[in-house]
Amino acid sequence: DHPTRRDFLFVATGAAAAVGAAATVWPLVAQMNPDAATIAAGAPIEVDLTPIAEGQDIKVFWRGKPIYISHRTKKQIQEAQSVALSSLPDPQPDSARVKAGHDQWLVVIGICTHLGCIPIAHEGNYDGFFCPCHGSQYDSSGRIRQGPAPANLAVPPYAFLSDTKIQIG
């Protein structure tokens, strides 16, 4: 069922708090990166994963898009791997959405595939992402499980430079 307006306002406040939390990580990230104009033009960015504790998510921006980086718990990984593909609206195995040997890290573009709102991490029924606009629910692999969104959250191009650093773009 749809969140009421009151619920939406509550959820929106939660989102602002999440942005605030991500911002505390940002200065560490920013000093390694090209300046804002270069990034906006599409340059790759490097992100140090060390400050992201297990169970936490951060949001960074690449090409003007919010990118969620989730340090998944064992439980989240297990949930993501054990779901029957036939039950998924947009069937994709978890292994196709994370990098081999780094399956504790999920990197997705934080734009709902329904109408483009920014879903909230660690909300909803599937231990993944919840979109407050019309209630789409994504799982811990960023796959759509419930609600009007037609497709999984997109995975941006990225690569591991080391066990603790990725380059997006």
- Applying CB under 6 A, the residues found at the interface with ligand FES are 112, 114-117, 131, 133-136, 147-149
Q: Report, in Å, the least distance between residue 111 CB and ligand FES.
A: 9
d(CA 32, CA 159): 16
Task: Tell me the backbone φ, ψ of residue 5, rounded to 5 degrees.
Answer: -60, -40
DSSP, residue by residue, 109-148: E---TTT---PEEEETTTTEEE-TTT--EE-TTS-EEESS
User: From the CB of residue 143, how many other CB atoms can be counted at a distance below 10 Å?
Assistant: 26
Q: Which two tokens stand for residue 106?
A: 């999920």
Q: Report, in Å, the least distance between residue 119 CB and ligand FES.
A: 7
Q: Report, in Å, the least distance between residue 149 CB and ligand FES.
A: 5
Q: Report, in Å, the least distance between residue 118 CB and ligand FES.
A: 9
Q: Confirm if 151 and 113 have CB atoms less than 8 A apart.
A: yes
What residues are labeled active site? 134
Q: Which of 10, 129, 146, 1 has the alpha carbon at shortest distance from 70? A: 129
- 97/119 with CB nearer ligand FES: 119
User: From the CB of residue 125, how many other CB atoms can be counted at a distance below 10 Å?
Assistant: 10
